[in-house]
C-alpha cells in the first residue's frame, strides 16, 4: 500500500496482542509469588443466567488460568436476595486467601448495584468500582482503576498515541467506562468532551475529535460521517445480534478515514480482561506489603 493509502491492517489496534503481553508479564510475577507460597485467587459472583454475563465470566476464567491465577465462581439464581449477596461478599472480604472479588454486572433489578459495589472491600475491588477507588481517580492515585478505561489507556500507550492536548470525545457517560474514562484522560492533560443521550448534534463534536471513544452499545451508531480524517477511534460498545458481535462503529465504513481503530471483537474486550488479572496481582502485592509492614 502507498503512504497515502496504508494497509488497513496497519490501522488496527490489536487488543488480543496487548492482552497476551500483559498476561505474559503477569505469568512471571505469579510464578515468583507461588515460590513464596502465595497463590493469587479471584472470586467471581454471577447472579442469574444472562447469556452475555456467562460469556464474560468464562473469558475471565480462561485468562486467569493462562496467568496462573486461581478463580472460583459462585453462581446464584436470579431470585437471590440483596442481603444474601452482601452476606456472601462479606464472607469473601474476610477470607485471607481471596485477593479479588468481582460481581458480574448487570444484576437483577431488585438488587441495587451501588449497594453491592460498596459492600466489596476496597482492597479486593479488582473491578475498580468501589466509590473509594473511583473517587481517587480525581487525584490520579486509585489503587484499582476500572478495567475498561484503564485498558484503553494501555492500548493508547502501546501504540504510542499521546492524549496530551488532544481533543478527546467520549460518547456515553456510564459508570463502567464513560465517566472514569473522562477523568483518566483529563489526568493526562487531554481536552475532554463527554456526550450523552441528550446531547444535541453529536456529529458537531465527534467530527472535531482527535480521539473518539464510543461506549453506547448501539450497533453501528458511528459511520464515516461522524469521524475526523486521521483520528483514532476506540469502540467500547458491544451488541449481540443473532449470536454475532457488533460494535458501536461501522468498521468497514470508517476504516479508510481513520489512522487507528479498535475492532469488535478483538479490541477493547481482551485488554479489559487482562487488566482485571493485573489488578488481581496488584491486590496480592498490596496485601503482601501490608503483611510485611505488620510484622516488621
- Give CA–CA dist 256/114, Å, rounded: 41
Q: Is 166 part of the annotated catalytic residue set?
A: no
Select from 184, 188, 192, 249 the least CA-distant residue to 215. 249
Residue 173, helix vs strand vs coil: coil
The single residue of 11, 14, 104, 179 carrying the catalytic annotation is 104
Residue with cell 486509585: 142
The single residue of 11, 60, 154, 282 carrying the catalytic annotation is 60
Q: Is 127 part of the annotated catalytic residue set?
A: yes
Tell me whether strands 100-103 and 41-47 are parallel, antiparallel or unpaired: parallel
* Ranges of H-type helices in the chain: 15-35, 51-67, 82-93, 113-119, 131-135, 147-158, 178-187, 202-206, 251-254, 268-294
**Sheet strand arrangement including 167-171:** 191-195, 167-171, 211-214, 232-235, 260-261
Tell me the residue ranges of DSSP E strands in 149-275.
167-171, 191-195, 211-214, 232-235, 239-241, 244-246, 260-261
Let me know how many helices (H) and strands (E) the chain has, helices first. 10, 10
**Bridge partner residues of 34 (DSSP):** none
At residue 95, what are phi and psi to the nearest 5 degrees? -90, 110
Tell me whether strands 167-171 and 70-76 are parallel, antiparallel or unpaired: unpaired
The single residue of 127, 210, 235, 248 carrying the catalytic annotation is 127
Query: Which sequence positions are flagged as catalytic?
Result: 60, 104, 127
Amino acid at each position: 500500500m502507498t503512504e497515502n493509502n496504508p494497509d488497513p491492517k496497519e490501522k488496527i489496534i490489536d487488543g488480543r496482542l496487548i492482552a497476551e503481553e500483559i498476561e505474559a508479564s503477569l505469568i512471571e510475577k505469579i510464578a515468583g509469588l507461588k515460590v513464596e507460597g502465595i497463590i493469587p485467587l479471584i472470586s467471581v459472583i454471577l447472579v442469574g443466567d444472562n447469556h452475555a454475563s456467562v460469556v464474560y465470566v468464562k473469558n475471565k476464567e480462561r485468562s486467569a488460568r493462562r496467568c496462573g491465577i486461581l478463580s472460583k465462581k459462585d453462581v446464584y439464581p436470579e431470585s437471590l436476595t440483596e442481603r444474601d449477596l452482601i452476606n456472601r461478599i462479606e464472607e469473601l472480604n474476610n477470607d485471607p486467601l481471596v485477593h479479588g472479588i468481582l460481581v458480574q454486572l448487570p444484576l437483577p433489578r431488585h438488587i441495587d448495584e451501588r449497594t453491592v459495589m460498596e459492600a466489596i472491600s476496597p482492597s479486593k475491588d479488582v473491578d475498580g468500582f468501589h466509590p473509594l477507588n473511583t473517587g481517587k481517580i480525581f487525584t490520579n492515585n486509585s489503587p484499582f482503576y476500572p478495567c475498561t478505561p484503564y485498558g484503553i489507556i494501555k492500548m493508547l500507550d502501546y501504540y504510542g498515541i499521546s492524549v496530551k492536548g488532544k481533543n478527546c470525545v467520549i460518547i456515553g457517560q456510564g459508570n463502567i467506562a464513560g465517566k472514569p474514562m473522562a477523568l483518566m484522560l483529563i489526568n493526562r492533560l487531554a481536552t475532554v468532551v463527554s456526550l450523552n443521550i441528550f446531547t444535541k448534534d453529536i456529529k458537531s463534536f465527534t467530527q472535531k475529535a482527535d480521539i473518539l471513544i464510543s461506549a453506547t452499545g448501539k450497533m453501528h451508531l458511528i459511520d464515516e460521517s461522524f469521524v475526523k480524517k486521521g483520528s483514532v477511534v476506540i469502540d467500547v460498545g458491544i451488541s449481540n445480534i443473532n449470536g454475532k458481535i457488533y460494535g458501536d462503529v461501522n468498521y468497514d465504513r470508517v476504516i479508510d478515514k481513520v489512522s487507528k481503530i479498535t475492532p469488535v471483537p478483538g479490541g477493547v474486550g481482551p485488554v479489559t480482561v487482562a487488566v482485571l488479572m493485573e489488578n488481581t496481582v496488584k491486590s496480592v502485592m498490596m496485601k503482601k506489603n501490608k503483611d510485611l509492614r505488620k510484622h516488621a
